[in-house]
Structure 1
Amino acid sequence: MPPAEDSQRLCTQRHKSNSGGGASSRKSQDAAPTIPPYPSSRLLERPTACILLPHAALEKDAVTALERASVEICGTVSTLFPDNMFPTPPSFVVGALDDLLYSLKERKWINYPSPSLYADPACQARSMAKYLNDFTRCCCLGYTGMKCPIPTTPRQWIVIESTRTLSNGETRQVPGIALADAGVDDVQWADVLCDVQIVGGPDCMPEALRRLSSGAANAFATQQDRLYHVGLALGGDVVQLACYDRAGLVLSVPCNVHDTPVIFARMIMGLTLLDKTHGGKDPSIVSRNGLRFVTVGGLEYEIAETLSITKDIHGRTTCWRCRLPDSDQDFVVKNVWADKKRPITEGEFLEMAASLEGVADVVCEETVLRPDGMPYTTTVLRDALGGTSERWAIIGHIPQLELRRLVLKPYARPLQEFASKEELLSVLRDSVKAHWDLYEVKDVLHCDISDNNIMIHEQPGSSLRRGLLIDLSCAVLVKGREKVGPIGRRTGTLPFMACDIVQYSDRVAHGPWHDLESFLYVLMIICAIYSGPLNTPREDFDLRDSPMSAWVSGDGDQKAVIMYQYEDDEFRTFLDSVFDPYFDDLKDLVCELRTVILRNWDRKVTHHDVLEVLDRHIRARRSARERPLAVEDSDRDLPVDADCSKVELRQKRKRRPVASKDDMMAATDRSIRLSKRKKIVHAD
């Protein structure tokens, strides 16, 4: 227990705060210059709710999957907010609040606005926000009186309205409460420190948790320094804490706020008085003077640009373009939640490939550590499970992830920023060659070929941009005569997965031919969802509602029918239905690649086979560009000047194709005629 004088100070401070304070109160605060005064003037009630704009949509299936993977653990609240983190423990504060906010005699919170099925939800949110602010204010004033540290910037509970996924799968704008720094005028998801959803009673708590899942998705999508996210579900007199991390959801045991006042106080005090790291913020990512910095390997990098972020709760990767102080060299810093069970890390794979051209180089890789020196993992809260058998029953069914950070070079741009179709094919060709070298020379199989993992980088002193293969987080070491991955290991990015991997992942060993099939899907999807170079998206087109919907939905059977069983004319018609007109002259190439990769039943396709096709088509395009009669029209395939507007690009696309296309079609027709002479026999 705290010393008797501390109790007297808190009680005295509580009396002064209840009566409005005065000169003696100000004098007490002035006597402790190291403790910043609590600026209660910044906690004025807001007249209207803040409208939070959605940044991530959580589908009904995703909510259901999250619920199935959730686990309820006794002790979650004390694990998140342990006693030794508080200058004065919550149990003492509850006692000191007797007759002010809590009645020890009646064992209930005084004037607690218990939610009701019959009350207006918006009114309930306003009443609860005011009560939480009153509790926060009393605790802060008490801490100030005892010269205990409080946050320099106070935190405030505010009423919000936001879009949530309901139990029936529908989305609706509903009221709620969010915790944010005081003084932020237009609070958005990027500012939310805790999310609160209120329902009419304990029986409706599942509905509140579903809404919290939507909030968690938005928090992860907008807060790049978030390690985990905390939400509170309130129903009647019952409260339940929900902690979301990259492995799923951990729930506290539902408790009655009146019967267990210390647990309720611990939640509110932990979120409002402790350092933000206890609410899920990453202390190694900091902001100063409007700039962001991240520390890796003991060096602080300035974050210049966010390159990518996976916008869902189970998303594992964020990438930034960064620079060291007083340097103009760009690096890529990759923040990734990596599988702890993998024997070789991504950084180790990249070190193996250090001598290869076309593969990213690793500068540094480290496991991010908590202030206590232990790694950030998704098993910390789940370790609070009592019995060993119970613990492993839960942990064995979720990803065991730890936070790692890599510094990579060279800095590269996304594949979608290709300057011309010739560059698109050239970059794709470079990546296939890098994949071949990685496989043949280093015995490493990539296993996750996608449009995000093929990049474009500039070469110093050259105007020619080259392809760069990145992301070895799913790679495997392959040795022996077969040189394939283990059977039953389903990895990759769904739209780009080979048919065999989608259909029979439990029976198929991942081989290099599966990755070559993925390269083909990268080209096909680019041709379907883009309308030109320089990241020009195709308007009014959704891959999910197109004939290529099987790629997105994971319908491996339909995907296999199209890719394996369609005759050449059927497949050409299929391409006509999905490709943007800008890519019409790449259909011959795609048809030939399909024949080589998927319809040659005599043997497995090799890297040499694919490179031979790509090289022939690239040479044909370059030959056509060099012909005098085709100079004007071939401008659309030349590297595009940075100042060239997209309007000019669209005008160039309208020009008729030149006769050089006949050379490519003739070469393709010869290849297809040869393949038709062979007896087509399906061999699994």
Structure 2
Amino acid sequence: MRRKEIIKENIGAVTRTWSSQNSTRPVKDKEVSRKPDLALLDDVEARWDTIKAVCELTSQLYTPTGTIGKTIDSKAYLLLRRQPWRRFVLLFSLTHEYRELRVHMYDHAGGVVTPPIHIDSAPNHFLYILSGVVFGNLDCIGYDPSINPLRRSFSDPIGRITVNDHTYDILEVIFSSQGLVGRGTVCYLARRDDEEYIIKDHWVLGGKDAALNEVRMLREMQGVRGVPELVEYWLVEIAPNEVDETMNYRYKVLGSIKGTSRTHVRLVLKPRARPLHAFRTKLELVSALRDIVIVQRTAVEDRGVLHRDCSLNNAMIEDDGDGTNGLLIDWEFAVHIDAEAVGDVATSARSWKAKLATSSLTKPPPLILQHYHDDLESLFYVFVCICIEYRGPLGVKRDLSADRSQEWLPHLWSADTFKAGSDVKTSFFFHPNADKLKKQFHPYFDTLIPLATQWYDLIRNKGPSSAVTFGEVLDLLETHLAELPKDEPSPELLFAKKFIAALPKKRHASDLEGDDDRDKYINEPPNTERNIIHGRMGWTMEVAPQPKRSRTT
């Protein structure tokens, strides 16, 4: 009788159970196939965005570098990648004839593992851990109570997120970083009081002061066109006055993990922008590059700030209702700088050196000093990568793997180590390599090859003794902007023309006389076989596929 009463009281409650259904078949995933021995689930299909925890089984002894350690690493990566709103994920291993239990905890500072808990010598501990995982609160297994993903599939909103005392509706996940260790940046399109915002949720290396560096830099840059507006920020708290830090989830600070702690921070920003590679015309692309150079110059010369993180992910285009302009985001690594006039004063060339001992960034001096011309050079790499890795506007990716004979520049520049990357880029400018730009640019960008080669020569001919100036790069961009056509068709117009061209020619009624299949002809779809490539329409310009809306539990 008591059992029936308990069941009746808990009708509708979610019950977590361990499932072995995917121990012999991989969990569905487009990129990586993995088979968890046991997956902790609600009453839903096993996907990496629905699995609460994973347990791996082996009769062998546990070793961190063995098969069991590697498989747990990869599944922790998949869990955090598909559930980026979690603070951490828990995995378990049952080893040594399935009698030793270990708890593996992974977050954006890395992973830690407990000593073995033997079922014979510590049966109660064994039971407490497994019961707590199944019956405990979700925040005990890494879920963030300040983010509430909704259970309804394809709902609007897809969840809710808290910043200070405000609650925002999550409309879309517009960016999520892919690594396990790192900032774990997730950008949400959110709404409050019928107004849309961008919420940047991430983990900053260091304590509270380091976490607030981007807040200080955005305030320094307030009012500069092409810099996001900071609406509010929050050092995320797990309890009143207790900031969420990765070190809170570790029993003690060991020497091997000292200096790896990260602090959880949320920024609410405006406006929403699109990536630079989602440009609509070549004129818009080059105009945005010019605008970003102006932002860099204003930051350095007027505000005394060096951005230091110009990349493909941080260069954007803003639609402000009165045209478009370039936007430079992510000011987390920005620093205050000092200026020392050097060389010919008439050229306005200055050497800008970072103040390493100021409150702008309380970290040890970097091994490599960065100057303003390094940011300008980074923008050149962004421009070249777009012209090689994309095949037109709206972010249409190019398949570089189709030609393995090429040593693609973006691949060479994305080296595994800083030294390797530095060596490749130094060699690129030390030896004449302008021909590689001509060979590797997609044909759509042929008209921008003169800009690329002249920009390349400008950097190469300066050498280490004299740096490229903002004025020189702006003059170059302005010259080529004046030469670009102002009436380049929009991608939508090109798409419409291609579609209309694929339609069958209109036939007169007299042409249908004696045609027994005229009704069939009139009703059949357009014959576009010549335009089909691998099952899709072979337009030169195609709309970039939108990511599916996150399905959460």
**Which TM-score applies when normalising by structure 1?**
0.64
Question: Which of 347, 350, 361 is matched with 2:229 structurally?
Answer: 361
Residue 339 of structure 1 deviates from its aligned partner by 2.4
CA 1:506–1:292 in 2, change beyond 3 Å: closer, same or farther?
Answer: closer
Q: Partner amino acid for 2:438?
A: D
SS of 1:258's partner is coil
Once the two structures are superposed, residues 620-674 of structure 1 have per-residue CA deviations (whole angstroms, 9 ceiling, x without a partner) of 114xx4xxxxxxxxx5x34444783695797678xxxxxxxxxxxxxxxxxxxxx
In the superposition, relative to structure 1, how do residues 647 and 243 fare at CA in structure 2: closer, same or farther (>3 Å)?
Answer: farther
**1:279 alignment partner in structure 2:** 141
Q: Match of 1:26? A: 4
Show the counterpart of 2:429. 564
Q: CA deviation at 1:392?
A: 5.9
- Is residue 230–residue 279 contact of structure 1 (8 Å, CA) maintained in 2? yes
Distance 1:652 1:243 in 2: 47
Q: Secondary structure at the match of 1:330?
A: strand
RMSD value over aligned CA atoms? 3.0
Give 1:399 deviation, angstroms.
2.5
Partners of 1:362 and 1:409 within 8 A in 2: yes
Cα deviations across residues 317-373 of structure 1 (Å, max 9, x unaligned)?
Answer: 000111114x1x321000010123455521221111112111111000110100354
User: Against the structure 1 CA distance between its residues 358 and 41, is the aligned structure 2 distance closer, same or farther, given a 3 Å change threshold?
Assistant: closer
Of 36, 51, 57, the match for 1:198: 57
Per-residue CA deviations over 1:554-608 (Å, capped at 9, x if unaligned) read 53365235432222xxx23211332211112211111111122232135211111
Secondary structure at the counterpart of residue 52 of structure 1: coil
Distance 1:203 1:301, change over 3 A: closer
Match of 1:218 in 2: 78
Partner of 2:319: 458
SS of 2:242's equivalent in the other structure is coil
Which residue pairs with 1:334 in the alignment? 200
| Counterpart for residue 483 of structure 1 | 352
Q: Which residue is 1:371 aligned to?
A: 239
Whether the 8 Å contact between 1:232 and 1:242 is mirrored in structure 2 is yes
SS in 2 for 1:509: coil
* Structure-2 separation of matches of 1:352 and 1:607: 20
Q: Within 2, Cα distance between the matches of 1:282 and 1:645?
A: 45
How is 1:358-507 mapped onto 2 (pairs within 5 angstroms)?
Answer: 358-371=226-239, 373-382=241-250, 384-385=251-252, 391=253, 393-396=255-258, 398-460=259-321, 462=322, 464-481=323-340, 482-485=351-354, 507=367
Q: Distance in 2 between matches of 1:204 and 1:395?
A: 19
Partner residue in 2 for 1:313: 180
Alpha-carbon distance in structure 1 between the residues aligned to 2:14 and 2:237: 35
Assess, with a 3 A threshold, how the Cα gap between structure 1 residues 336 and 642 changes in structure 2: closer, same or farther.
farther
- The residue correspondences of 1:648-663 to structure 2 (distance < 5 A) are none
Residues 557 and 337 (structure 1), Cα distance of their counterparts in 2 relative to 1, 3 Å cut: closer
CA distance in 2, matches of 1:538, 1:645: 22
Which one-letter code corresponds to 1:332 in the other structure?
I
For residue 472 of structure 1, what is the amino acid of its counterpart? Answer: W
Asked if residue 644 in structure 1 is aligned to residue 495 in structure 2, the reply is: yes
1:610 alignment partner in structure 2: 473
Tell me the residue number matched to 2:129: 267
Given that residues 91 and 105 in structure 2 are in contact (C-alpha distance below 8 angstroms), is that contact kept between their aligned partners in structure 1? yes
* Alpha-carbon contact 2:164-2:234 (below 8 Å) kept: yes
Question: Counterpart of 1:52?
Answer: 27
Secondary structure in structure 2 of the residue aligned to 1:188: coil
2: CA distance, partners of 1:356 / 1:331: 19
Listed as ranges, the matches of 1:26-105 within 5 Å are: 26=4, 29=6, 36=10, 51-54=26-29
Q: Distance in 2 between matches of 1:272 and 1:331?
A: 36
SS in 1 for 2:106: strand
Determine the structure 1 residue equivalent to 2:548. Answer: none
In the TM superposition, residue 46 of structure 1 has moved relative to its aligned partner by 7.4
Instruction: Tell me which amino acid in the other structure corresponds to 1:449.
Output: C
Choose from 299, 319, 330 the match for 2:166. 299
- C-alpha contact 1:243 1:249 (8 A) present in aligned 2: yes
The DSSP-based 3-state class of the residue aligned with 2:246 is: coil
Q: Distance in 1 between matches of 2:540 and 2:254?
A: 61
Match of 2:429, SS state, is helix
- Residue 242 (structure 1) shift: 0.6
Asked if the contact 1:546–1:578 (Cα under 8 Å) also holds between the matched residues in 2, the reply is: no
- Contact 2:434–2:456 (CA<8 Å) still a contact in 1? no
Residue pair 1:419, 1:638 contacting (<8 A) in 2 also: no
Deviations 1:29-62 (A, max 9, x none): 48xx8x52698999697777563134666xxxxx
CA distance in 1, matches of 2:408, 2:134: 51
Deviation at 1:208, TM superposition (A): 1.4
TM-score by length of 2: 0.78
Give the aligned partner of residue 348 of structure 2: none
Q: Deviations over 1:182-204 (max 9, x none)?
A: x21x2100011111111222255
3-state DSSP of counterpart to 1:51: coil
Asked if the contact 2:109–2:246 (Cα under 8 Å) also holds between the matched residues in 1, the reply is yes
SS of residue in 1 equivalent to 2:466: coil
1:99 paired residue number: none
Which one-letter code corresponds to 2:162 in the other structure?
Answer: T
Q: Does the 8 Å CA contact 2:338/2:355 hold for their aligned counterparts?
A: no
Alignment of 1:589 onto 2:451? yes
- Name which of 373, 392, 396 aligns with 1:536: 396
Give distance in 2, aligned partners of 1:41 and 1:543.
Answer: 51
Does 1:233 pair with 2:99? no
Corresponding pairs, count: 469
Q: What amino acid is the match of 1:484?
A: K
- Name the larger-Rg structure: 1
Q: Counterpart of 2:115 in 1: which secondary structure?
A: coil
Paired amino acid for 1:36: N
Native 8 Å contact 1:572 1:587 kept in 2: no
- What is the percentage of aligned positions where both structures have the same residue? 25
Q: Closer, same or farther in 2 for the Cα pair 1:221/1:25, shift >3 Å? A: closer
The residue type paired with residue 202 of structure 2 is V
Deviation of the 1:268 alpha carbon = 0.8
Name the residue aligned to 1:245. 107
Match of 2:547 in 1: none
Give, in whole Å, the separation in 2 of the partners of 1:457 and 1:473.
20
Q: 1:47 to 1:582 in 2, by over 3 A?
A: closer
Q: How far apart in 2 are the matches of 1:524 and 1:403?
A: 34
Name the structure 2 match of 1:189: 48
